[in-house]
Amino acid sequence: MNSNDNKTPLEYYERAIQELTNTREQLQTELESIKQLKDEFKSTQNELAKSKAEFQEKIQATNAELQKQKEKLYRIESGVFAGSINKTKGWKGTLTNGKGDNRCVRQYIEFGEAFNNPPKVVVGISYANVSREATHRLKVKAVDIDCKGFFLKIHTWGNTEVWGCDVNWLAYGL
C-alpha cells in the first residue's frame, strides 16, 4: 500500500504548498545569485571600458612620442659635384689662370628634400685635374648651409691651375 493513499486532501494541499514554498525559496535564491552576477558583470564591463580608455590614451601618447622620435631621426643625403672648365660657370679664368692667392668658385648644391634644420655637411675631393707644371693646391668647403642646400666653395691659390674636380658631399641632420 502506498503511503500517499492514507493522506487526506488537506495533507496533499499542505504538501503541495510546502513544495511550492521550497521551490519559491530556491528560485528566490537563484534570482539573487543572478542579480549578483549581473552586478558583477556590469562592474567588470565598467572596469574593461575604463581599461580600454586608459589603453587608448596610452596608445595615443605612445604614437605621439613615436612621431617625435621619428622627427628626431637623422636623415642622410649625399651626392657628387663634378666641376670643370667646360661645365661650371666662372671656372675658366678663376681656377685656371695660375695667378693669385684667393681664387675660388662657389656652386649651390640643392638637397633633394629640405631638412627640418640646417644639416651638417661633409665634403671631400674624389678627383682633381690639376696642371702638372704647378703645385697642387686645392681646398673644398661647404659654406652658407641652410635647410634647402649649401654652397660648395672650391678654392686654390698660388700658381695652381685646376681644370676640373669632383667633390663628394654628405649631408646629415634632422
* pLDDT tens by residue, 101-148: 889 999 999 999 999 899 999 999 999 999 888 889 999 999 999 999
Q: Which of 89, 80, 124 is nearest to 107 (CA)?
A: 89
Task: Determine what percent of the chain is predicted with pLDDT higher than 90.
Answer: 70
Mean pLDDT, rounded, for 17-28: 92
The dihedrals phi and psi of 94, each to the nearest 5 degrees, come to -80, -55
- Type of residue found at 170: L
CA distances, 162 to each of 85, 90, 126 (Å): 8, 12, 14
Question: By the 8 A CB rule, do 33 and 26 touch?
Answer: no
pTM (2 d.p.)? 0.62
Which tens digit of pLDDT belongs to each residue from 74-106? 899 999 999 998 888 888 878 888 788 889 999
Higher pLDDT pick, 171 / 2: 171
pLDDT score of 1: 47
State pLDDT tens for residues 51-62.
999 999 999 999
